[in-house]
Amino acid sequence: MHPDLSVLDPVSFPPAVSAARPGDAPALDRRSFLRLAALAGGGFALALYLRGPDAAAAEPAVSGGAEPGGDFTPSLFVRITPAGEITVLAANPECGQGVKTAFPMLIVEELDAPWARVKIEQADLDPRLGRQAAAGSRGTPTHYQPYRRLGATARALLVSAAAARWGVPTDELQTPGDARVVHAPTGRAATYGELATAAAALPVPDEKTVPLKDPSAFRLLGRRVGGVDNPRIVVGAPLFGLDVRRPGQLFATFVKCPVFGGVVRSADLAAARAAPGVRAVFEVKAPGVASGVAIVADSTWRAFQARDVLKIEWDEGRATGDSDAAFAAAAARLHDAPPAGDPLRGAGDFAAAHAAAAVRVEARYEYPFLSHANLEPQNCTALHRPDGVELWAPTQSPSGARDAAAKALGVAPESVVVHMTRIGGGFGRRLTNDFAAEAAAIAREVSGTPVQLVWTRADDMQHDWYRPGGFHAFRGGVDADGRVVAWGEHFVTYAAGYDTDKVAGVAGLAAAEFPGRLVPNVLIHQSPLPNGIPLGPWRAPRTSAQCFAQQCFLDELAHAAGRDPVEFRLALLAAPAAPAPAGERGPVFDNARMAGVVRLAAEKSGWGAPGETPWPRGRGRGIAFQFSHLGYVAIVAEVTVSKTGDLVIDRVVVAADVGRQIINPSGGENQSEGSVVDGISSALVQRITIEGGRVAQSGFADMPLLRIDQAPKRIETHFLLTDNPPTGLGEPVIPPVPPALGNAIFAATGRRVRRLPFNAADLSWS
């Protein structure tokens, strides 16, 4: 079981779409095409069809009116009934990032229907729908244009139907946004419902030639729209994975070795089998599923209770030697010696530039492992039958869930059905579908009966795919004009296992926009530590961790050179960016866009405003920026630290450039505000520690999340709209948060905290 990295950010994985021109990417699977289907009782559905091996004949300009035969079943993206009911499909997993609202908005905008009257329906996993994943903030760049085209195609059909009915040219017709087609010269009008059946008989225009609205004509995009599930969330209606209730459903818990990679040596299951409510207890052995013992009972509580009487002897395996202390000692040894091996990146002549620099600074930074701590613990409901398995899964990658279950059962992926539930928090955890594989393997033992696998909070915290910790040693040089001329970095990170030099997929240094493209003389080494820790993507993988070290060290350089941190950064960004180093993948970095958000964050926070008086000791602000997931973000944090070291975060100002259009400002700002809280929580209070190959923490007592009374008093989000394709907001706001906070703490107290979490450091001052 490994994280599904194929769906990760485009910055460092070969993107399926051209990252440089995200607006032109295909949303729909290349093998699928649009067709009309007539609905029983009239009306139409604009459907997608999978282009199968024998589909060529069916492909050209098919008219509606008949259900297609053979393998072609309609997948209903837009459905309009004669009564005027409009239904739009939400194809992607919703984990709080707002796509169940934002993506249907794209369709409805071009359809010109009133949002309030459209019903949004959650799709299941369906290969015809193309990419269905919540990862890498890639949804918006992938779907922005194609979903609009879907809506525009449906509208074009309705307009054509009206034109035929009235014998008028289509260009005399309008759609005023109320689900009607209007012919102003004659005052005629028809509702979409009235036109739907006639529209279903028309040939589907090529969706690539259907005109899209000019953004100035948008009625819906850019408006604040509430989440489509809000009315259900506030009354506690069933939505989430753990809310699934199937007839006769049982509940399961799965006990795994607390040491990573450990396996069952022997188990005495008798007492657990005799426990109240318990239906089955068995050792699970399935490909891709961790070794362990499952308990199936008639309630979650009774399954959990029976764990107490389970007797398992573990073969703990190799990871027992892994510990934070051992990793830190190994990192220190590596940092104390000159870096061995070829540099990861180099530019110019670092040694000479560093030696000649007017100001030189050295510092080491480190941060711990993190767990995702989704508030909804991992879970999955499964029903096994002789011909396959049906899953109800809160997963960010439903195709990954299908494949993991198929592998566990040794069946074809086509025999796995995946229903997508709402997800109680993603953050990258649910790109790894270990819970789905486990549920499928457990369900096979109680075949015919639905079973819900529920991880305890401790299971969730101790069997995560962790955000890797890291150790950075920096050497920087600034010239007499305040320009960064030398940047040396030795990054000690984690390998993809024990017997490999390969850095784990989520642990490598992020792409080289900063400092590589902005500093003339660069020398960067990377050393992986062998380990047995499961590592996985954690919101804005890599940058969400590394930005802390880099932007705090950059701040150190600014202060050492006696420069204002904002001006210092703007000077760095003023130089034209060097081209991407050979071998670096990734999108084009535009330092003018980055400078734009740095300026905006400074201006909105009042940084350097005319007439501003110096802040008293104990109050401070810090700035940081990061390019990630195609978004440009700068953040100013303002803090008050008491003499005894109590920290209050007064205000956080976010400036973000994610292109020309914010689809739903309410959802976009919510992502920004949440990222600020997440970034603070991860840097201030959270830490996973490894001792003897296991996680020391077991719940929110020893691995807290930020509480409301610790959250910033105020968060402001300012979008800088630039003429670039819209990109996602799930991730890019988080990376600059920890360094902005660290830089603010330094400004307030004079204490430079180089190790996370901040709350483990003494922040007192006198």
Partner 1 sequence: MPTTLTVNGRVHELADFDPATPLLWVLRDHLGLVGTKYGCGQGLCGACTVHFNGAAMRSCVLPLAAAAGQKITTIEGLAADARLTPLQQAWCDEDVAQCGYCQAGQIMSATALLAKNPRPTDADIDGALAGNLCRCGTYQRIRRAVHAAASTLPA
**Site for partner 1, rule CB under 8 A:** 95-98, 224-227, 229-231, 233-240, 242-243, 245, 251, 276, 298-301, 304, 373-377, 422-427, 454, 456-457, 666-667, 670-671, 673-678, 681, 699-701, 705-709, 711-715
Non-local (6+) Cβ contacts of 336 within 8 A are none
Asked if residue 671 lies in contact with residue 729, where contact means CB atoms within 8 angstroms, the answer is: yes
Cα–chain center distance at 712: 23
Min dist CB 738 to ligand FES, Å, is 20
Which is nearer to partner 1, 379 or 546 (by Cβ)?
Answer: 379
All residues at 6 or more sequence positions from 110 whose CB lies less than 8 Å from its CB, including other chains: 148, 149, 150, 151, 152, 154, 155, 212, 213
Nearer of residues 243 and 316 to partner 1, judged by Cβ = 243
Helix, strand, coil percent values for the chain (each to nearest 5): 30, 25, 45
In the list partner 1, ligand FES, none, the entry touching 412 (Cβ below 5 to 8 angstroms by class) is none
Of 86, 221, 241, nearest to 155 (Cα)? Answer: 86
Question: 654 is written with which tokens?
Answer: 């976010």
| C-alpha distances in Å from residue 456, one per residue of 304, 307, 375 | 8, 11, 11
Count Cβ atoms within 10 A of the Cβ of residue 323 and give its class: 0-12 exposed, 13-18 middle, 19 or more buried.
middle
333 binds, options partner 1, ligand FES, none, Cβ within 5 to 8 A by partner type: none
DSSP state of 541: T
Q: Could you give phi then psi for residue 536, rounded to 5 degrees?
A: -150, 175
15, interface contact from partner 1, ligand FES, none, CB < 5-8 Å by kind: none
Shortest separation between residue 375's beta carbon and ligand FES, angstroms: 4
Q: E-strand spans in 516-628?
A: 521-529, 619-628
Site for ligand FES, residues 319 to 378, rule: CB under 6 A? 375
Distance (Å, whole) CA 632 – CA 368: 26
CB 26 within 8 A of CB 48: no
Site for ligand FES in 368-387 (CB under 6 A): 375
The option from ligand FES, partner 1, none interacting with 98 (CB < 5 to 8 A, set by class) reads partner 1
Nearer to partner 1, 276 or 576 (CB): 276
Decide which of ligand FES, partner 1, none touches 304; Cβ closer than 5 to 8 Å per partner kind: partner 1
What amino acid occupies position 259?
A: V
Q: In terms of CB distance, is 586 or 674 closer to partner 1?
A: 674
Compute the C-alpha angle 332/335/338, nearest 5°.
Answer: 145
Rounded Cα–Cα distance for residues 706 and 742 (Å):
16
Closer residue to ligand FES (CB): 81 or 681: 681
| Closest approach of ligand FES to the CB of residue 673, in Å | 11
Q: Are 120 and 90 in contact (CB under 8 A)?
A: yes
**Contact between 594 and 632 (Cβ < 8 Å):** yes
Choose the one of partner 1, ligand FES, none that binds residue 97, judging by a C-beta under 5 to 8 angstroms depending on kind: partner 1
| 180 three-class SS | strand
Q: Give the one entry of ligand FES, partner 1, none that residue 301 binds, where binding means its C-beta sits below a cut-off of 5 to 8 angstroms depending on kind.
A: partner 1
Q: Does 699 bind ligand FES (CB under 6 A)?
A: no
Q: For partner 1, which is the closer residue by CB, 457 or 619?
A: 457
The residue type at 459: D
Apex 686 CA angle, 685 and 690, nearest 5:
135
204 vs 370 by CB, closer to partner 1: 370
Residue 733: C-alpha distances to residues 2, 629, 653 (Å):
26, 10, 11
How many residues bind ligand FES (CB under 6 A)? The answer is 3
Minimal distance, residue 373 CB to partner 1, in Å: 6
Angle, vertex CA 648, rays to CA 647 and CA 654, nearest 5: 120
Alpha-carbon radius of gyration of the chain? 28
Name the minimum Å distance from CB 699 to ligand FES.
9
Query: Least CB distance from residue 277 to partner 1, whole Å?
Result: 9
Minimum distance from residue 256 beta carbon to partner 1 (Å): 18
Nearer to ligand FES, 258 or 425 (CB): 425
Give the shortest CB-711-to-partner 1 separation in angstroms.
4
Nearer to ligand FES, 425 or 497 (CB): 425
- Would you call 1 helix, strand, or coil by DSSP? coil
Provide the CA 465 distance to its chain's centre, in angstroms.
14
One-letter amino acid for residue 475 of the chain: R
DSSP conformation class of 183: E
231 vs 750 by CB, closer to partner 1:
231
Q: Least distance from C-beta 424 to partner 1, angstroms?
A: 3
Among 96, 98, 400, 596, binds ligand FES (CB under 6 A): 96
Q: Name the binder of 759 from ligand FES, partner 1, none, CB < 5-8 A by kind.
A: none
Residue closer to ligand FES, measured from CB, 190 or 239 = 239
CB of 376 to ligand FES, least distance (A): 8
Closest distance of CB 431 from ligand FES, Å: 17
Residues contacting residue 274 through CB under 8 Å, at least 6 positions apart: none
Residue 678: which of ligand FES, partner 1, none does it interact with, CB under 5 to 8 A by kind? Answer: partner 1
User: Which of partner 1, ligand FES, none lies near 226, with the C-beta cut-off 5 to 8 A by kind?
Assistant: partner 1
Query: Closest separation between CB of residue 725 and ligand FES, Å?
Result: 28
Per-residue x/- track, 476-515, ligand FES (CB under 6 A): ----------------------------------------
By a kind-dependent CB cut-off of 5 to 8 A, residue 660 interacts, out of ligand FES, partner 1, none, with none
Nearest CA to 750 out of 648, 615, 624 is that of 615
Name residues contacting ligand FES, limited to 386-425 (CB under 6 A): 425
Shortest separation between residue 121's beta carbon and partner 1, angstroms: 18
Angle between helices 737-749 and 665-684 (to 10 degrees): 60
Which entry of ligand FES, partner 1, none binds 713, CB below 5 to 8 A by partner kind? partner 1
Report in angstroms how near the CB of residue 371 gets to partner 1 at its nearest: 11
404 burial class (0-12, 13-18, 19+ CB within 10 angstroms)? Answer: buried
Which spans of this chain sit near ligand FES (rule: CB under 6 A)? 96, 375, 425
